[in-house]
Amino acid sequence: MSDRFTCIAVDMGAGSIRLMLGTLDGGKLSCEEAYRISNETVEIDGHERWDIERIFAEIRKGIARAIALAEDAPESIGVDSWGVDFVMLDEEGKLLELPVAYRDSRTEGMMDQWRTMMGDAETYARSGINFYVFNTLFQLLSLKGSGLLDASASLLFIPAYINYLLTGKVANELSSSSTSQMLGVLGRQWDEAILGHLNLDPAKLGEVVDAGTRLGPVVLPEVRETKMEGVAVCGHDTACAVAAIPVETPDFAYISTGTWCIVGIESDTPLLSKEALELGLTNERGYGNSYRILKNIVGLWLLRGLKKALPDSTSFSEMEAMTLEAGHVGQVIDPDAALFYNPDDMKAAFDAYFEQSGQSIPERFGAYLCCAYDSLCFSFRYHVEELERLSGKPVRHLHLIGGGSQSDYLNQRIATICRRKVVSGPVEGAALGNMLIQGIAMGRIDSLETGRQLVRQSCKLKTYLPGKDDSQNQARFEHFLRLKLHSNES
């Protein structure tokens, strides 16, 4: 056996899907993009759907491309993707229909309908998952009593379905399953009371396997000579990204920065208090039976919305320069306010918020950008401090992952406003975590700790220390807290 370990990570995103060729050689981990697939929903029969048959045909092409690029034959392959969405199979293992996407309107009104069956506190205590309209629970509730659901023999989450096509093994993985709001918060069993209200036989969801489970050989004709094996990595992409965080001590929180941002901590136990429910915390599962206690918040969506008011050629670097030129800005928003979820005009949404909260309208566009950046940082600080308070876990430094971690300006503002050291990177967190879990499963990496050390050795990381936290920052943070309190009360 060669000392070099080579694998393929299928990293599925709602906008694009990438096949990454990963190599571990000489204590260094590297990855390169072998193939990229555009991904968007298609409207069929009145629903937004994923064209999963086209996607898998493209994944097969990507696998062939990765094999051709590799110096050594890849030993394994793993798949991660977004959560909650699923496919339905018949008794013969055939697809009943193209899977409906989480953004489809079929879940409208389903949360209210569910609350007539089971209260929020009980649902949260049973599943540990907070209430999002796109959760699998509400998707399935919209199908309750339908002939389609009755005709199904198996339900597989998206990464589990791709694994099934690769290996023939039917098995849902723990992290993906946990996003459904139907898995018991402890262990790997489906919650019978929740499924009972859906009239759903738990056998249809089947066995839940831990991340790192070896699924057997890939059965595609074009890869039989490589003896490639499928591995059920963390099916949820954020769980993979968290597995690759290059932590050195346990006193950290992480911020995944993208269109939406995630602020979270790693824990051995879930947080199930009334306060955790009301704060919007959710307890998703991670590698090694850990819990990712996290909060989803509006993120760089604010900046992308404001960017539409600028010439198309304007870069984010130019926007950051406009922010610096704006100087001191007094305005603050609560990024979680409903106004900012999906406005036709983001700048107009900011103006409406300023008027409603008794703040002046900025005269310079850079002030809008400064308000957006700083308000995000205030939100990060608020949620980090709430996680720290509710969990009892001290948070002394922050790890930034995702696309936003490439912004020096944002990273420094987070360090200063959150009053904590920030370590940014890796950008390719999900793909690297996918590869680490494969390496552990295949006996090429000793443990998660060893894998995280490999990330530290292999990836470009940057450290940011808190700058001068003047009285203006503190006053604006206190203003943010008042706005947040008002939002929570209304």
- What's the one-letter identity of residue 129? I
Whether 257 and 296 have beta carbons less than 8 Å apart is answered as: no
Q: In angstroms, rounded to a whole number, what is the distance separating the alpha carbons of residues 39 and 299?
A: 21
Alpha-carbon torsion 259, 455, 171, 122, what sign? negative
Task: Give the CB-side neighbour count of residue 438, counting CA atoms within 13 A.
Answer: 31
Whether 306 and 322 have beta carbons less than 8 Å apart is answered as: no
Nearest Cα to Cα of residue 174 among 166, 163, 184: 184
Please classify residue 356 by burial: count the beta carbons closer than 10 Å to its beta carbon, then call 0-12 exposed, 13-18 middle and 19+ buried: exposed
Nearest Cα to Cα of residue 208 among 229, 234, 241: 234
Q: In angstroms, rounded to a whole number, what is the distance separating the alpha carbons of residues 475 and 231?
A: 50
For residue 416, CA distances in Å to 294, 343, 381, 394 come to 22, 30, 10, 18
- What's the one-letter identity of residue 377? C
Q: In angstroms, rounded to a whole number, what is the distance separating the alpha carbons of residues 10 and 434?
A: 8
Q: From its phi and psi, is residue 247 left (phi > 0), alpha (psi between -120 and 50) or beta?
A: beta
Nearest Cα to Cα of residue 9 among 284, 214, 235: 235
Spot the catalytic one: 80, 237, 334, 336.
237
How do strand 421-424 and strand 397-401 relate by DSSP bridges? parallel
Angle of helix 408-418 versus helix 316-326 axis, rounded to 10: 50
Q: Which residues contact 277 (CB under 8 A, 6 or more apart)?
A: 120, 121, 124, 130
Q: In angstroms, rounded to a whole number, what is the distance separating the alpha carbons of residues 142 and 6?
A: 43
Rg (CA), the chain: 23
Whether 213 and 229 have beta carbons less than 8 Å apart is answered as: no
Q: In angstroms, rounded to a whole number, what is the distance separating the alpha carbons of residues 443 and 7?
A: 13
Active site residue 237: yes
Tokens of 274: 């009334």
**So which residues are the catalytic ones?**
237
